[in-house]
Amino acid sequence: MAKLVLIKVRDLKKLMDFLREKNYDVEKGSHAVLLDHSEVEEFYLRKENKLAGIMISHYITPYYKVVKEHKDRDEEELLRALIDVKYSREKWFVPVNPVAVVTEDQELVNTLNKYRDDYPSQEARISMERYLAENPGSRNIFSGLLARVLEKLSQ
């Protein structure tokens, strides 16, 4: 029977590195940028070429911060700022909801239960707090995504 594991994650990149250290392959799946400038993405977690679980994350990146900081400026300034971030060292992915993993693999559940982290930077934490304040309904995004994952696992 499939289990739903919800993990409080502050640094998605660190979680993926942690899973790779535990010999899981993390394969990107569907990805979308939402109208509020957050992103949702699914990841397939495999171990020894077998699907161990499907992970869904709803997150923001430095691009969210740039768009919010430049919302009242002209398009050229925004594009310049986005390019600057693209080539900067500021690379973070901060989930704005718990990361969801659907799995039947107890080893993966045990591994996920051991995971701990902190925000990759102060800017990331501030951006996440801003996102949650401006988007109180963001928790509703998961219901449709989880239904899709459960459908995939039942096939």
Q: Which two tokens stand for residue 127?
A: 């951006």
Other CB atoms within 10 A of residue 68 CB:
15
Q: What pLDDT is attached to residue 40?
A: 92
Q: What is the DSSP letter of 80?
A: H
Instruction: Give the pLDDT confidence of 9-55 residue by residue, as tens digits.
Output: 999 999 999 999 999 999 999 999 988 889 999 999 999 999 999 99
For residue 75, is pLDDT > 80?
no
Hey, which bits of the chain come out as E strands? 3-7, 25-33, 39-47, 50-60, 94-95, 99-103
For residue 146, is pLDDT > 70?
no
Could you write out the DSSP letters of every residue in 44-56? EEEETTEEEEEEE
pTM of the predicted model as reported, rounded to 2 decimal places: 0.85
Other CB atoms within 10 A of residue 57 CB:
25
Say how far apart CA 10 and CA 39 lie, in whole Å: 15
For residue 84, is pLDDT > 80?
no
Can you name the residues that pair with 55 across neighbouring β-strands?
Answer: 43, 101
CA angle 69, 143, 50 (to 5 degrees): 100
Say how far apart CA 137 and CA 123 lie, in whole Å: 22
Confidence of residue 116 (pLDDT cuts 50, 70, 90): very high
Could you write out the DSSP letters of every residue in 96-116? SS-EEEEES-HHHHHHHHT--
Confidence of residue 148 (pLDDT cuts 50, 70, 90): low
Say how far apart CA 75 and CA 139 lie, in whole Å: 30
* Mean pLDDT, rounded, of the chain: 87
Over range 101-123, report the average pLDDT: 95
